[in-house]
Amino acid sequence: MSDNSNPYGGYGGQMTAQAHFGGAPATPAAPVALVKDTTTAGFAKDVLEESRNQPVLVDFWAPWCGPCKQLAPVIEKVVAEEKGRVKLVKLNIDDHPSIPGQLGIQSIPAVVAFVNGRPVDGFMGAVPESQIRQFIDKVAGPAGADQAAEIEAALAEAGTLLAGGDINGAAQLYGAVLQADPDNAKAAAGMGECMLAAGQHERARELVTGMPDDTGRHRKSRQCPRRSSRWKKPASSAIRPRSSMRWRSTRTTTKRA
């Protein structure tokens, strides 16, 4: 077994797990800035392009805006704690007025969330930390949703590989899922099928009987899904006209005279 940390690999010297979930890289990656300033010239790259990787929150602010100074440390703290679920880009509207003009922003602070190259939601005012977290969950999905989707996709792929006779490939994926989620009944059932196909009957029995009681149905059938509906990204588009923007709240805001 090439990975000694994987308790589900190594059967017959063939089965290992090398998949990663939750965006974990195989090798350490360089630190990524989660908060940055942008300009009119850099907006397309920093916001539109980057929002195809994860939601990007754009904080429109100005030096003279009191509520902006209240919001800034709170939203930056929350974004940092989210560890990459979203990024925050800050745009000074005094220095770069054209983009907020296109979005129809008249009061600040204003925060607009971009996903797949277009604005999808926003709020105005120095809102509390709890409301910022709720907003991030709305635009990025609940915490852990990305990993759950990756696991479902891996299970579907493993089922396809197993049905096609690729026992080793299927076992690698099932093993990786079990490392991420040890109580995943579908992965345990699939791994059991791989062991049976490889002649490891006793090991299969040990794995299946070791699962929690509430997964008895899976232990009996040793079945795994062969299909999975995959989420499809919506088509990207340019910034919407100001008339189409809708704001969620109108708490404390500042209008420039």
Hey, which residues are catalytic here? 65, 68
Nearest to 5 by CA among 212, 26, 16, 171: 16
State both tokens at 36.
């940055």
DSSP letters of 141-163?
-STTHHHHHHHHHHHHHHHHHHH
Nearest to 195 by CA among 156, 157, 225, 222: 222
Number of CB atoms found within 10 A of residue 18's CB: 13
Q: What is the DSSP-derived secondary structure letter of residue 53? A: T
Which residues touch 219 (CB under 8 Å, ≥6 apart)?
185, 189, 208, 209, 211
Beta bridge partners of 56: 87, 114
CA dihedral angle for residue 115, residue 117, residue 118, residue 119, rounded to 10 degrees: 50
Report in angstroms the alpha-carbon separations of 152 from 62, 155, 213, 243.
44, 5, 22, 39
Number of CB atoms found within 10 A of residue 42's CB: 14
